[in-house]
């Protein structure tokens, strides 16, 4: 990936993370999280990168899943997951992704970050929330 695109992603992602940290409302945090897949898509329009396509797909999926949880009436009351934990972890992993671009980390680090995003998304599903409640994994 060209250096200017890496720096752009680092800058935009860091701004989004800062706004996520500052926002008390969950919906606003999720709004700023959407910068991750939106910015990835913009850069993909200029230069194809398989890792960035993966980032785009996973962050978009996480956003859609968490948004579904927030928008579905009664769903929050049925799942044994604390949304504060979900959004704290979402912010932490978004920050790790910003750091990944700031430091030009290796692919092993990217795999760890994307795995963390997948766990967040899974934890907000019925089965994932059940497994989380059982202690099968932690956020």
Is position 111 within any domain?
Answer: yes
- pLDDT for 104 equals 84
Is position 139 within any domain?
Answer: no
Angle ∠(70,76,78) on CA atoms, nearest 5: 150
- pLDDT for 54 equals 97
- pLDDT for 82 equals 85
- pLDDT for 72 equals 86
Structural domains of the chain, count: 1
CA atoms within 13 A on the CB side of 33: 31
- pLDDT for 90 equals 97
| DSSP string for 76-100 | HHHS---HHHHHHHHHHHHHHHHHH
Is position 98 within any domain?
Answer: yes
The position carrying tokens 């978009």 is 60
Asked if residues 134 and 128 have their Cβ atoms less than 8 Å apart, the reply is no
SS3 138: coil
Asked if residues 59 and 87 have their Cβ atoms less than 8 Å apart, the reply is no
And the tokens for 53? 């396509």
Is position 28 within any domain?
Answer: yes
**Chunked in runs of 10, what are the mean pLDDT values of the chain (139 residues)?**
96 98 96 98 97 97 94 80 91 97 90 96 92 91
- pLDDT for 73 equals 78
**Parent domain of 36:** 3-134
- pLDDT for 134 equals 93
- pLDDT for 3 equals 95
Long-range contact pairs involving 9-16 (C-beta distance under 8 Å, separation at least 24): 9/39, 9/40, 9/43, 9/52, 9/101, 10/98, 10/101, 10/102, 12/39, 13/39, 13/94, 13/97, 13/98, 13/101, 14/98, 14/102, 16/94, 16/98
Is position 105 within any domain?
Answer: yes
CA atoms within 13 A on the CB side of 26: 17
- pLDDT for 40 equals 98
């Amino acid at each position: 990936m060209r250096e200017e695109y890496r720096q752009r992603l680092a800058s935009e992602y860091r701004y989004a993370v800062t706004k996520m940290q500052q926002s008390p409302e969950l919906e606003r945090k999720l709004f700023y999280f959407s910068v991750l897949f939106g910015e990835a898509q913009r850069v993909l329009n200029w230069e194809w990168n398989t890792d960035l396509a993966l980032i785009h797909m996973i962050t978009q999926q996480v956003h859609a899943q968490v948004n579904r949880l927030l928008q579905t009436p009664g769903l929050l009351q049925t799942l044994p997951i604390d949304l504060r934990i979900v959004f704290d972890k979402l912010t932490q992993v978004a920050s790790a992704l910003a750091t990944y671009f700031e430091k030009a980390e290796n692919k092993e680090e990217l795999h760890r970050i994307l795995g963390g995003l997948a766990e967040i998304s899974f934890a907000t599903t019925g089965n994932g929330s059940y497994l989380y409640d059982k202690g099968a994994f932690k956020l």
